[in-house]
Structure 1
């Protein structure tokens, strides 16, 4: 009899504990929904709804609103400015994305190997350029690249460069934009990667050291594999930003009085089509192409890096 009562009490306690856990989970879920609701509202207002409207514009006629299939996309591809813009963006990505990724990872690894005040100072120094807004950074660089006011004007004069449009000529522009983009975003990414490195279990690093691994072997076989997902995250966001580059060439074009074409990049071309020529449907088609490129690139990177796979 006593054993039966004990079993009943245990079952009752188990049910009570289960009910408490379920109630706690429901409360946690409600709190989670409250926190993500503002983001979902903004995502719908400034992400999903504009994408849906762009889809409508991309496949309809601007005058009648009728379905035109791929006519707008074909019109974009037939535009004489499209291929040069594609070439400009691809070349910019080549000179910026791969080198910047290698440099950022290397600097984060070097910073992780340092300790004390020097590391704290370097973290702050790396982040300072990233504290400036993108537009402000470009304006600062325009000042630095103008031979008449730049503190490095003597170097430009020695190279027979006396005007800013000579400094930012089309052949140099991808490298200049790459430099501006790296200078602006490097600090934030170094801190992100450094944070990922500091989250590595010290026991793993100690085990590698006990096994006789030198610093390079520890980086290659321990740190880099554990950093792979963060590198993938970096590449995804920088690929999206690089393929849609706009602010830097647009401001440089304005500062040089059209010394740089206003349709240098694909995003600029889309902007020009929409607001200079009123070709909103074709601009929407080009914007969707850029979105598709970013999505395909992201899917490939996610699959290669296992970005969303849980660590076991």
Structure 2
């Protein structure tokens, strides 16, 4: 069973009058990852991450992780149109209606010639995934980027896919629950978050519902630069899945708003690429960071998420 972490908000140390950031929870084994997403299956936990046909790691206790192949054994033919190296990124995995769904991106660094694909599995285990093709794509003439997908099923049972990186920021489309692809009767491209200044560095959305609000977590600033990374995780919330999302101060995420959830502290540099899993002991923030004590190697971070009296999330 996963460890139970007991923490009192009042007991956390203060830095400059605000809450100090906790270290990532203890994980061991093969934990070198980018853009992790984690699920809990009947046989334990599986983390999927960027590269290697979507690398997989398994664990029975959420502490020790073992490399366990990849989601795919071979690349679908359409990948090469968007990635000459057949390199998929940033998976998002969830269980819906008795099956597992994986949304993922195929692209190359710095390009918005990109596509989001869908794969399905009855077990969620490595090697069990069947590709269902492209869900949404962008080209170099688009003003947004089809990477970093994340599925939301709202309180009314409607399905939404958020995604985006740089360009005009975070976008959303509505999906058909029967196919997992874009709903033909609603082709609206919703706009959820952006930055007012170039290079418009916001990406990797993850939306969850808590109480009466939807919370949009996103990664801001520079990823993938080892110890020079400036990645950080911010959040806003809305009463509607399509927004508008505002931060704690009331600033819109379409105007650069966002309340900090986690940023660089000590050796734990540039946390981001996050996903959220509801587990038996609470909500988990799953992310990568760059380890300043290991030359900037990207590693798996897991923390529990708490919710304060005003309904805003914090890590512990």
Asked which structure has the greater RCO (Cα within 8 Å, sep 6+), the reply is 1
Question: Per the shorter chain, which TM-score range?
Answer: under 0.3
Give TM-score, length-normalised by structure 1. Answer: 0.23
Q: Which has the higher strand share?
A: 2
Give TM-score, length-normalised by structure 2. Answer: 0.22
Q: Which has the higher helix share?
A: 1
Point out the structure with max Rg over C-alpha: 1
